[in-house]
Copies of this chain bind each other. A is one copy, B any other.
Amino acid sequence: MFVQVNAAGGVPVYDQIARQVTFAVANGALAPGDLAPSVRELAKELAVNPNTVARAYRELQRQEVVETAPGIGLVIRSGARRVCQTLRRNLLRERVQTVLRETLDAGLDADEVRSLLETELSKLSQSYRRPGESA
């Protein structure tokens, strides 16, 4: 499955779930018309309270990513891919801005920041050549 949660770290579980579903749609791993995993199934798999999964889906519904198909479940909406790509772009941009602001607030200049970023990026990007491959 494409979703995994990390209870520690302060990030709300429902948020992690919603975000990962959004990313999956943006990537095409979930396509419009597909059924999203059921609340019970996903809750069981993640060892998480069903309420938590339900809340994640509620967010996705509000953002027009999924819709309920009565008697069937939750399906990915037709316009979801574009929506999710936008959500993803805005989310990432905001996160990037925050962390860049932090480095500049700390007193580093732009080139020190660039070198820090490149160092860490080259370290990390190796493990991500084929994301999920080893998971």
Contacts and interface: CB of A to CB of B under 8 A. Distances in A.
B120 A69 contact: no
A23 B107 contact: yes
Contact count band on A:
35 or more
Contacts of A13: 70
Contacts of A70: 7, 12-13
Interface of A: 7-8, 12-13, 20, 23, 26-27, 49, 62, 67, 69-71, 88, 91-93, 95-110, 113-114, 116-118, 120-122, 124-125, 128, 131
A104 B125 contact: yes
Contact of A101 (B96, B105, B118, B124): B124
